[in-house]
Amino acid sequence: MKNILITGGAGFIGSRMALALVAKGYKVTVLDNLSKQIHGEFPEEMSPLYNSIKDKVIFVKGSVTDRVSWEKVLLDQDVIMHLAAETGTGQSMYCIEKYTEVNIQGTALMLDILANTNNSVKKVLVASSRSIYGEGKYIHPELGDVYPKHRDDKDMLKGDFKVKYKGSDNLELVATDEESKIHPSSVYGITKQNQEQMIMAVCPTLGIKPVAFRYQNVYGPGQSLSNPYTGILSIFSTQIRNGNGIQVFEDGTESRDFVYIDDVVNATILGLVKEEANGEVFNVGSGVATDVFTVAKTLVESYGINVPISINGKFRLGDIRHNFADMSKINELLGFKPSVSFTEGISRFSKWVLEQEVSEDKLDDSLEEMKSKGLLK
Ligand SMILES: NC(=O)c1ccc[n+]([C@@H]2O[C@H](COP(=O)([O-])OP(=O)(O)OC[C@H]3O[C@@H](n4cnc5c(N)ncnc54)[C@H](O)[C@@H]3O)[C@@H](O)[C@H]2O)c1
């Protein structure tokens, strides 16, 4: 399986994946529309991600929502890595048609073409997301494993950000495994669930092996520093380098599982080459929960730029409190273990950030946008 098509292959994860695969001798084709939100106003001239791959892959500028674009790239492909997507959780709550068009309709079109044309595709890997789980898994002292619903805004407006199950906040946070309940709390999460389920349901009927990866919060060199809608590490970095204070939402103890880009690429490549991956879904994270205040503090220290960090008690509707990955399955089936610790990853990330030009801090505009839609409280 030497010929690989990566949709969204000019993006943060896709470009790193493309370069890793080319280095291993694969022939890589990329289908990407060079979206302005990710690649800027003049992507061909200005996008460092696009420029890092353009001479190493066969690049086709086009959209996954366009049949003609698919027809241009499918010839002789053995594998599709489907990464193209709209990726902002908050933004998905008001750009609903756009998110469903690109993520759901784009995937539907890919499968429709695979089902109805002659093609050589043998395997499809999809970038799913931890957002499909919504709030993570907890243990209740009497009820055992529970999957709390989205938190109530009335509690959060009073500064109570704890997760509750049937009125009780006596819950122990545990790692979320692949068998955990799927109950996304954003349109983005719904589209990722839908992508994953369509691919897992349709591909086997076509004799194609599907694999889905539920990535946690991926970070590292190449992450967009100008997109205010995704990537908390980038958003904080751009604020710090502009000398602006960081406003941490909720009470700062909300947490995420941050996984380094090269670990994500390596896990996905194991899914490509190992037969044990076929037909399976895998969590890909670090398996460690890190709270958002710690993230802000670590970044301020690593840039050595002393901006204030304040905890503002605000919150975004649709945000979860905690979720970190149970990594047992990918470890047992594919032998994968993340190798880059948060401390090491942040050091590599911030070194890379300091080599980039300082981006304009557009966070306030994006927050105003969310506020005007009633999504920021
Ligand atoms: N980065 C993360 O933390 C993370 C976490 C979970 C899942 N994922 C998933 O991984 C995948 C890659 O994410 P990323 O962080 O590299 O995002 P990214 O935004 O950097 O890359 C996405 C790429 O898709 C392209 N694209 C957007 N719409 C397109 C369309 N209609 N047709 C063709 N190309 C289009 C963009 O131009 C961009 O190059 C996505 O599917 C995302 O949902 C990412």
Set out the domains of the chain in order of their start, with CATH numbers: 85-372 (3.40.50.720)
Residue 361 identity (one-letter amino acid): D
pLDDT band at 94 (very low <50, low <70, confident <90, very high): very high
Q: What is the pLDDT of residue 74?
A: 97
What pTM was estimated for this model as a whole? 0.96
Q: What is the CA radius of gyration of the chain?
A: 20
Give the pLDDT score at 212: 98
Say yes or no to pLDDT of 364 above 80: no
Judge whether 262 and 220 are in contact, CB under 8 Å: yes
Write out the two tokens for 325: 């990955």
* Per-residue confidence (pLDDT) for residue 69, from 0 to 100: 98
Q: Which two tokens stand for residue 368?
A: 């105003």
Q: What percent of the chain has pLDDT over 70?
A: 100
37-53 pLDDT, tens per residue? 999 899 999 899 999 99
The response to whether residue 38 sits with its C-beta less than 6 Å from ligand 1 reads yes
Over 80: is that where the pLDDT of 88 sits? Answer: yes
Of 174 and 374, the one with more pLDDT: 174
What pLDDT score does 278 carry? 98
Share of the chain above pLDDT 90, in %: 85
Per-position DSSP letters for 228-268, written without gaps between them: TTS-HHHHHHHHHHTTPPEEE-TTS--EE-EEEHHHHHHHH
Q: Is 188 a catalytic residue?
A: yes
Question: What's the pLDDT at 196?
Answer: 98
Quick one: pLDDT at residue 110? 98
Q: Looking at residues 195-224, what average pLDDT do you find?
A: 97
Cβ of 63 below 6 Å from ligand 1: yes
Tokens encoding 34: 């060079």
C-alpha dist (Å) from residue 338 to 17, 18, 125, 137:
16, 20, 19, 21
Judged against a pLDDT cut of 90, whether residue 76 lies above it is answered with yes
Cβ atoms within 10 Å of 295's Cβ, excluding its own: 24
Per-residue pLDDT, averaged over 167-184, amounts to: 96
Q: What's the CA gap between 36 and 28, in Å, rounded?
A: 23
Q: What is the pLDDT of residues 147-169, one digit of tens each?
A: 999 899 899 999 999 999 999 99
Cα gap 16→9, rounded to integer Å:
8
Is any atom of ligand 1 closer than 6 Å to the C-beta of 40?
A: no
CB of 85 closer than 6 angstroms to any ligand 1 atom: yes
What pLDDT sits at residue 367?
76
Distance, CA 86 to ligand 1 centroid (Å)? 6
Residue 370 has pLDDT above 80, yes or no: no
Ligand 1 lined by 217 (C-beta under 6 Å):
yes
Residue-level pLDDT at 373: 80
- For residue 188, which phi and psi values (nearest 5 degrees)? -55, -50
pLDDT for residue 83: 98
The residue whose two tokens read 């946690």 is 216
How confident is residue 359, by pLDDT bands cut at 50, 70 and 90? confident
Cα(216) to centroid(ligand 1), Å: 13
Q: Tell me the C-alpha distance between 377 and 370, whole Å.
A: 9
Q: What does the pLDDT look like over 322-346, one tens digit per residue?
A: 999 999 999 999 999 999 999 999 9
* pLDDT higher than 80, residue 365: no
What does the pLDDT average to over 104-113?
98
Please identify which of the residues 26, 50, 133, 188 carries the catalytic annotation.
Answer: 188
Cα–Cα separations (whole angstroms), residue 127 to 81, 155, 169, 354: 8, 34, 33, 29
Instruction: Centre a 10 Å sphere on the Cβ of residue 268 and count the other Cβ atoms it contains.
Output: 25
User: What is the per-residue pLDDT for 200?
Assistant: 98
Among 101-110, 136-145, 361-370, where is mean pLDDT lowest?
Answer: 361-370
- Of the residues 15, 34, 35, which should be mutated to test ligand 1's pocket, given the most ligand atoms within 8 Å of the CB? 35
Judged against a pLDDT cut of 80, whether residue 366 lies above it is answered with no
Q: Give me the half-sphere count of Cα atoms (radius 13 Å) on the Cβ side of residue 254.
A: 24
Question: How buried is residue 256: exposed, middle or buried, by Cβ count under 10 Å (0-12/13-18/19+)?
Answer: buried
